[in-house]
Amino acid sequence: MQPNDDSAIDPTERLEAAITRLLEEHAALREENHLLQEQIRQLKGERATFKERNEQARHRVENMIARLRSMEHSE
């Protein structure tokens, strides 16, 4: 048997190694999930800000159009 052959390793050690690997993956995925949730929170905030700015710009444009129309009719 080769020294790196999995069958030469005690089943308990293989299980321990597998559990350790899964715990490490779990920790990495939890961290990634946390970062993604934070990114979503920030993007939602940006989206709300952009929507508000867009709404303000729309109102300004509508007001300008209304003023132009009233000037056009008063001439």
pLDDT above 70 (res 64): yes
pLDDT at 74: 81
What does 5-51 look like in DSSP terms, one character per residue? -GGGS-HHHHHHHHHHHHHHHHHHHHHHHHHHHHHHHHHHHHHHHHH
Q: How many Cα neighbours within 13 Å face the side chain of 65?
A: 6
pLDDT at 1: 41
Q: How many domains, the chain?
A: 1
For residue 58, is it within any domain?
yes
Q: Radius of gyration over alpha carbons of the chain, in Å?
A: 31
Segments forming the whole domain that contains residue 58: 29-74
User: What's the whole-model pTM score?
Assistant: 0.64
pLDDT above 70 (res 10): yes
For residue 11, is it within any domain?
no
